[in-house]
Amino acid sequence: MQTVAIKGGKDGLHISLSETEEWQGVMADLASRIDQQSSFFAGARITLDVGSRPVRKDELGSAKALLERRGLTLYAVLTESNTTIDAASALDLRANLITPPQPEGNHASAPEEDGTYGVMIRRTVRSGRTVRSQGHIVIFGDVNPGAEVIANGDVIVWGRLRGNVHAGANGDESAFVCALDMIPTQLRIAGYISISPQDKRHKPKPEMALIRDDRIIVEAWH
């Protein structure tokens, strides 16, 4: 497969990068491909597909800078790797986790659990940031007031949830939200919305929010 594959999409240009070649080499190939046809690319919005390659923040940053020097905007990143999702989030880029194709096999004898896909963010989400996923979201850190977490699936915050959260954003009422300290500004599950009681003296304890009896309830998370 070639190192850099480029095609047009409805949202701009879709650039796929080799999953195995050395990053410096891939960047050099990308630069020369763009420079060869600079008028074709002018002003385009780029979605970068890195497949299963784990891309670090500094590597992704160099790709973003490379594109910006040529007048292109890096808009989104497609990846199968959590490391890359983390890097994209640190640079404030949209990132979508793509599911790798399931291997064909004899399902009757498969002893392993199939989970469903999610993204993991290993830092506190600060005010003004948004974390989005078509799957689940796990945050290892706090969600500060003014931050948003939006998942089609569940949301788990291993820290203090103080911002806005929306689980089951595509309408899934079975989605839940868990946090070690559940004090969101606004909490939504599917089409339901709820706010925290204003109790300044509360003691932080792990809780789970879910829909039961046609409303959002919050109970202790054991």
Partner 1 sequence: MSVGGKVITVTSGKGGVGKTTTTSNLSVALARNNQKVVMIDADIGLRNLDIVMGLENRIVFDLVDIVEGRCKPRQAMIRHKLFPELYLIPAAQTRDKTAVSPADMIQLTDMLRDDFDYIMIDSPAGIERGFRNAVAPADEVLIVTNPEVSAVRDADRVIGLLETENKAPGRLILNRVNPEMVRRGEMLSPDDVTDLLAIQLIGIVPEDENVVPSSNSGIPVTLNENSRAGLAYRNIARRLMGEKVPFMQLSESAGLFKRLTRLFSGK
Question: Which residues in this chain contact partner 1 in the complex, by CB under 8 A?
Answer: 61, 90-92, 124, 126-129, 142, 144-146, 162
Q: How far is the CB of 94 from partner 1 (least distance, A)?
A: 14
Residue 128 CB, nearest approach to partner 1 (Å): 4
Q: How far is the CB of 130 from partner 1 (least distance, A)?
A: 11
Rank residues 191 and 204 by Cβ distance to partner 1 and give the closer one.
204
CB of 36 to partner 1, least distance (A): 27
CB 160 → partner 1: shortest distance, Å? 9
Residue closer to partner 1 by CB (options 31, 91) is 91
**Among residues 8 and 145, whose Cβ is nearest to partner 1?**
145
Cβ-based nearer residue to partner 1, 200 or 215: 200
Amino acid at 24: Q
Please identify, using beta-carbon distances, which residue of 4 and 125 lies nearer to partner 1: 125
